[in-house]
Amino acid sequence: MEWTYNCMLDYPIGTKFVYSDLSFILLAEIAERILGGSIDQISNIYFSKMKMFNTTYLPSKEILWNIAPTEYSSNIINYWDFRQKLIRGVVHDPTAYLFEGVAGHAGIFSTVFDLLLYMQIHLNKGIAPDGTRIYP
């Protein structure tokens, strides 16, 4: 995080937009400081309010087979990862991997059922199928 705090901009503000993981990593750090707890704990609270109990950064073995694989990892495709197997429930983003799978820019896993709940809530303007208001 210290490196992120001291990172210099490549372009003056307002002149060019280039995506960077750093902004979302920093946003997670801000959320952690304001709300207390780690970003995975904060996310688990948010998702549990929506009854999305299988959406998390670090999925348990019980739900692992309901999560789609991320990729087949080989040293040809990913020079940083020599696991040589189908990756499921483990983040494949190199930076998030360095954060042990919990980072603001990558790493949340889910199931189709939970994603359907998520879409229903948003289509219902913040109201869950059981009538609970999730957001205004």
pLDDT at 82: 56
pLDDT at 44: 93
Residue-wise pLDDT tens digits, 60-90: 989 888 888 887 766 555 555 555 677 788 8
Task: State the Cα–Cα distance between residues 35 and 20, nearest whole angstrom.
Answer: 24
pLDDT at 117: 95
Domain segments of the chain as ranges? 2-123
The amino acid present at 136, given as its one-letter code, is P
How would you classify the pairing of strands 71-73 and 85-87? antiparallel
Task: State the Cα–Cα distance between residues 61 and 89, nearest whole angstrom.
Answer: 9
Task: State the Cα–Cα distance between residues 114 and 100, nearest whole angstrom.
Answer: 23
Is the pLDDT at 129 greater than 70? The verdict is yes
What residues contact 109, with CB distance under 8 A and at least 6 apart? Answer: 55, 56, 57, 59, 67, 89
